[in-house]
Amino acid sequence: MTASPDAWEEERGRLLFAQECNFLLSVTKPDDIPPPDHPEIAFAGRSNVGKSSLVNALTGRKTLARVSVTPGRTQTLNFFLLGERLYLVDLPGYGFAKAGKAQVASWNKLHDIYLRKRPNLRRVLILIDARHGIKPLDEETMTGLDTAAVSYQIILTKADKISATALSERLEQTRKKLRKHVAAHPDIIATSAYESLGIAELRAALAALSESGG
C-alpha cells in the first residue's frame, strides 16, 4: 500500500481533480483515438468492479462516467479531459460474456493498438474488487501489459465491503502476486468510492503522473 501523501501532494491532487472534467468522445476504431497531446491514465478491470464509481469519486461528480455504461458504449474507449491537462480513459470491463466472437476480436484489436501505441499513456490502473482479489482474467491482462511493457498499478475497490483484517490480508496476497509481474507498480491503493477511502492518495499519485515526463 502506498505511503500517505504529504499535505502539498494531497493539495496538488485536490486542485487537479477540482478542475472541470468533461466527456470527450467514445472510440470504436483506432483512427478515432485522439492525438496524444496530454498525459493519459487508463482505468481497466472486470465488469462491475467499480470503474465508473471510482472515476466519479475522483472528480467529485456523481454522473460523469455514466456514459461508459450506456447501452451500446460498453465496448468503447471513453475519453474524459480533466482541466485541459490529463486524459482519463475508461476502458470496457473485461469478461463481457454476452459479447460475440467478432465483437471480442474487434475490441481486442482496438485494445492492443491503444496500449502498444499510446506514447502519452502514463499508467494503466487495474481495478480489483477487494472482496475477491486477483482473478485469472486480471492475471491475463497483467501478463499482457508486462509483455507490452506498459506500466500498471493495482487499485483495490470496494474496500469498505470487507473488514480491516481481511483488507490487510488481501493487500499482502496482492503484493505477493505482483512480484512476478515486471511492469507492475509496487504501490497498491485500497479505495472506497462510497467512503472516499484512498481517494486523496490516488488523486495525489495521478497529479504527479500528469506532471511527469513519462
- What is the structure's pLDDT at 64? 76
Q: What would the pLDDT profile of 160-194 be if each residue is shown by its tens digit? A: 999 999 999 999 999 999 999 999 999 999 999 99
> Domains in the chain, start-ordered, CATH in brackets?
7-211 (3.40.50.300)
- What is the structure's pLDDT at 3? 59
- What is the structure's pLDDT at 128? 98
- What is the structure's pLDDT at 65? 63
- What is the structure's pLDDT at 70? 44
Answer for the pair 118, 90: CB distance below 8 angstroms, yes or no: no
- What is the structure's pLDDT at 177? 96
The residues with which 192 forms a beta bridge, in sequence order, are 197
Whole-angstrom distance, CA of residue 127 vs CA of residue 189: 10
Whole-angstrom distance, CA of residue 67 vs CA of residue 69: 5
Distances (CA, A) of 188 to 118, 126, 135, 162, 173: 24, 10, 16, 16, 11
- What is the structure's pLDDT at 106? 78
The Cβ-side half-sphere exposure at 37, using a 13 Å CA radius, reads 5
User: Which is nearest to 27 in space by CA: 62, 61, 87, 77?
Assistant: 77
- What is the structure's pLDDT at 116? 84
With a cut of 70, list the residues of the chain below it in pLDDT: 1-3, 65-74, 96-100, 213-214
